[in-house]
Every structure is written in structure tokens, then in C-alpha cells.
Amino acid sequence: MKKVLIVGTLDTKAKEFQFVKDTIESKGVKTVLMDAGVFDAHVKADITNHEVAKAAGYELDDLRSSEDRGKNVKIMSKGAQIKAQALLENDELSGFISLGGSGGSSIAAKVMEILPVGMPKVLVSTMAAGDVSSYVGVKDVMMMYSVVDVAGLNDILKTVLTNASIAIVGMVKEEKNLEPSKKPLIAATMFGVTTPAVEAAKAHLEKQGYDVVVFHATGAGGRSMEALIESGYFKGVLDLTTTEWCDELVGGVLSAGPKRLDAASQHDVPQVVSVGALDMVNFGPVDTVPSQFEGRNFYEHNASVTLMRTNEAENKELGTIIANKLNQASANAALFLPLKGVSMLDNTDMPFKSSHENIALFNALKANLDQSRCALIEKDEHINDQSFAVAMADKLIEIMNRKEQ
């Protein structure tokens, strides 16, 4: 039987981890307990902290003599990830659970980075009531707030840990009768202001026998897609909405990071890309917009979202960045330019309609794109025109078929 991996600092939270281990095993599920603490464990670990430290290239005694707790956490995180990777490669794992504060949660996050989507992952954390993006990353993590500190067993913590333990047991024991789709998977990116285009392309691709997985271009969506492309999930990518680069460049709240647009090119996955929603940077409520942008063109999407029109200089730089990203491709790529507008707000009588910004974007793309690596297709259409979306989908099918020949 495969086992649930339990990773924790057994020098400070031995009783809590032993309670979780005993609860899980009492339900008929085996476990493997890994110690990521630096000092002496108060319960027996299946994988000792000495082994974890050595996996990271260190001796535990050297870490114990150091007063740099932050560095030690990083080292033990790395070692725990390496040991977990070995268990994963040997097909020994059915799930993962951990618990702790900020340090323990960061160690758990490092391990969960390498666990596949679909493998159950539970993290009980004192940090779960705040921003958990640094712990979840791009994986399907279930986080549970511990309510009280993980600092000694009591009735409240026992209840929380019991629930978490039963949750992981249920997930690993329950038969998953999902039949994997035999249809090739296509990744697509969408924002509210590019929804008509993506829906039209999706319907067209599905009629041709593909399954389309849509990612919301909110930063986390782009990062998740890039990670899944790297993992080999997709036969092709319809990256219609590249707006996350606006937030990365200008400082909005929905950045997907500097590696956005890398994975398909670097892994030679057929891709058709466009400039969806490159007219906007995302901020929170109006009163949270940084003062440096005073006087810019804003649109209040709702009480929680304020959009700012990108200017000519930003569009010129966006064009250069995206062209250079696509120049990594090896001919299995195409870039589509919708000359009549890049989003719902960039349309006739809409607040972001302006030709100067788009001309700056398009000219920078054309000036910097290596068309021997990525074909350039200009269409005198709006991005949300059905014909534009279908043309992108047909081009992707053409590239995928060509790559197979």
C-alpha cells in the first residue's frame, strides 16, 4: 500500500505530528514520517533529520551550531523536497499532510511544489487565514486554519487535526473512477474582457476533437498554466490573453511573474499567442491605486477591481518583451494581432479605445519578433470577433498537425 507522507519539525511539534500519524493509521492508511527539524526529535521518524540535512548537502551538527534559523529552514526545506522526490519516483506516495506556523508551512510548501496535481495535499497552518499564495503556489493544496497555535495538544487543536487527518484519509482511500479523457488537451487563457473570443475558439476546438482547459489570467492562472505545460499536460496552447505581463511590467496585482510565456517555447509545445487585455493593469479598490499613477486613464470594473489603461511607453516595452519571449520558440508558434482592439474596453465608444497605444504595441512586436521562429498574422478585426478566434484555433490545429508529421 502507498503511504501518506507527513513532514514536520519533530523537535518542536512531536506530539502534534504523532497525533496526526496515529489518527491516520487508525483509519487503515499507512504513513511515512519525515523529520525536518534541526534538533533532537521526540518521536521516532521514518526519515530522520540527519538524512534530510545530508540530502541537502549539510551535516546536522553544523546547522545546530548556526544561529541562522532562516537559513536552516531553507536547507531542511531543500532536503525534505529531495527525499520526497525519491519517494515519489519510487511510487510510494498516495498523499501528503503537514502542519505548523510560518516556518513549518514554508517547508511543507517546498515539498508540495514537486507533488503532482491530483495527489491529495493538506496543510494545517496558523498562516491559513491570511494570504496563502506563497504556500499554495500552483498546486491543488487544501489549507486549513489551525485556529490556535500548533504549540501543544488541546481540545481545539485535536479537533482541527482530527478533521485534517480524516480529510487526507478520505481523499487517499476513496476510489477515483474518473476516466482520463482520450482527447488531446489544449490550454487557453481568458479574462472577462476576452471571454467571447476564448469561448468561440474553445467551441471550435472541441468540435475538432480537442478538450480545452481554460486558465483565468489572474497571475495564479498564468503560473499554473506554465507549470502544467512544463509537466507535459498539453498538446497545444491558445494563449489569447497575455495581460498578466502588464501587471508584471507596471506593478499591478495580477502578475504571473517573469517566466510567463516561457514554457511552451522552451518545451516546443505548439502555441498560438495574441495580445488579449494588454490595454490594462489591474489594481484593487480605487483608494489602493499607487499615487504615482495619478492622472492616468482608469476604469472602475467593480468595487474591488480598478483597471488602468496602459500607455504608449508601456505598450512599446510590452511588445518588446513578448516578442523576445516568442523568439525562444522553434517554429511551432504564431502571433495574432487584432488591429481593431485587444479587449472589450478597447472597442468603439469604450473607455480604453485609443489607437496610439496599440500602434506602439504592434510596432514593437513587429520590430522585435523573429518571424523564422514565430509566424506573425495581422487581422483587421477585434480580438472578440468570432472569426478572429476561429482563425487562431485553426492555426493552432495546423501547427499541431505539422509537428506530428
Rounded Cα distance, 352 and 179, in Å = 45
Burial (0-12, 13-18, 19+ Cβ within 10 Å), 347: middle
Which residues, in sequence order, are CB contacts of 303 under 8 Å at separation 6+?
A: 285
Q: Are 227 and 213 in contact (CB under 8 A)?
A: no
Confidence of residue 178 (pLDDT cuts 50, 70, 90): low
> Average pLDDT for residues 350-354, to the nearest whole number?
93
Rounded Cα distance, 117 and 213, in Å = 14
Q: Are 248 and 260 in contact (CB under 8 A)?
A: yes
Rounded Cα distance, 237 and 286, in Å = 34
Q: Are 39 and 66 in contact (CB under 8 A)?
A: no
For residue 177, pLDDT over 70 is answered with: no
pLDDT for residue 150: 87
Rounded Cα distance, 373 and 351, in Å = 35
pLDDT for residue 231: 86
For residue 86, pLDDT over 80 is answered with: yes
> Average pLDDT for residues 306-319, to the nearest whole number?
98
Residues in the chain: 405
Sketch the domain layout of the chain as residue ranges: 3-173, 185-404
C-alpha cell at 191: 479574462
C-alpha cell at 214: 481554460
> Average pLDDT for residues 3-12, to the nearest whole number?
95
Taking alpha carbons only, the member of 24, 25, 41, 31 closest to residue 5 is 31
Q: In CATH terms, are 3-173 and 185-404 the same topology?
A: yes
Rounded Cα distance, 368 and 326, in Å = 10
> Average pLDDT for residues 318-346, to the nearest whole number?
97
Q: Give the phi and the psi of residue 64 in degrees, each rounded to 5.
A: -65, -30
Rounded Cα distance, 37 and 104, in Å = 9
C-alpha cell at 98: 503537514
Rounded Cα distance, 241 and 219, in Å = 12
Q: Mean of the per-residue pLDDT values for the chain?
A: 94
Q: Are 262 and 239 in contact (CB under 8 A)?
A: no
Q: Which residues of 154-168 are buried (b: 16+ CB within 10 A; e: fewer)?
A: eeebeebbeebbebb
Say how many CA atoms lie within 13 Å of 334 toward its Cβ. Answer: 18
How far, in whole angstroms, is CA 283 from its chain's centroid? 20
Confidence of residue 129 (pLDDT cuts 50, 70, 90): confident
> What is the DSSP secondary structure assignment for residue 6, as one 8-state letter?
E
pLDDT for residue 367: 98
> Average pLDDT for residues 87-103, to the nearest whole number?
94
Q: Are 310 and 357 in contact (CB under 8 A)?
A: yes
> Average pLDDT for residues 28-40, to the nearest whole number?
95
For residue 291, pLDDT over 80 is answered with: yes
Tell me the percentage of the chain whose pLDDT exceeds 70: 98
Q: Which residues of 190-219 are buried (b: 16+ CB within 10 A; e: fewer)?
A: bbebbebbbbbbbebbeeeebebebbbbbb
For residue 180, pLDDT over 90 is answered with: no
3 state DSSP class of 392: helix
pLDDT for residue 131: 81
Which residues, in sequence order, are CB contacts of 401 under 8 Å at separation 6+?
A: none
pLDDT for residue 225: 95
Q: Which residues of 115-142 are buried (b: 16+ CB within 10 A; e: fewer)?
A: beeebbbbbbbbbbeeebeebbbbbebb
> What superfamily does domain 3-173 belong to in CATH?
Uncharacterised protein family UPF0261, NN domain (3.40.50.12020)
Angle between helix axes 69-89 and 102-112 (nearest 10 degrees) is: 30
Rounded Cα distance, 231 and 147, in Å = 35
When the candidates are 3.40.50.970, 3.30.60.50, 1.20.1740.10, 3.40.50.12030, the CATH number that belongs to 185-404 is 3.40.50.12030
Query: Taking every pair of C-alpha atoms in the chain, what is the biggest distance, in angstroms?
Result: 70
Confidence of residue 280 (pLDDT cuts 50, 70, 90): very high
> Average pLDDT for residues 267-276, to the nearest whole number?
98
Confidence of residue 117 (pLDDT cuts 50, 70, 90): confident
3 state DSSP class of 47: strand
pLDDT for residue 41: 87
